[in-house]
Amino acid sequence: MARQIKRFARSSHNCMLGGVCGGIGEYFGISPAVIRLSYILISIFSAAFPGILVYIIAWLIIPKKV
């Protein structure tokens, strides 16, 4: 029985900017809207979390789904 391995990648069809939140949502089976909202709230209410910088780094590091 062949088991398919789940790969972590940016979403190619569920993206707004770079597909990072869409890819996280697809990987964990959660709605990307929930991931986006959580990410925005954490970025706004946490002074120690540099949201834009982390997103840009993730955009560069995480491969795009083919």
Per-residue pLDDT of 20-39, as tens digits, reads: 999 999 999 999 999 999 99
Phi-psi region of 30 (alpha: psi -120 to 50; beta: other; left: phi over 0): beta
| Domain that residue 27 falls in | 20-61
10 Å Cβ neighbour count for 43?
14
pLDDT for residue 53 is more than 70: yes
Residue 14 is assigned to a structural domain of this protein: no
**pLDDT recorded at residue 28:** 93
**pLDDT recorded at residue 1:** 62
Residue 41 is assigned to a structural domain of this protein: yes
Residue 11 is assigned to a structural domain of this protein: no
Q: How many folded domains does the chain comprise? A: 1
Residue 4 is assigned to a structural domain of this protein: no
Residue 6 is assigned to a structural domain of this protein: no
Q: What is the pTM of this model?
A: 0.79
Task: Give the chain as a 3 state SS string.
Answer: CCCCCCCCCECCCCCCCCCHHHHHHHHHCCCHHHHHHHHHHHHHHCCCCCHHHHHHHHHHHCCECC
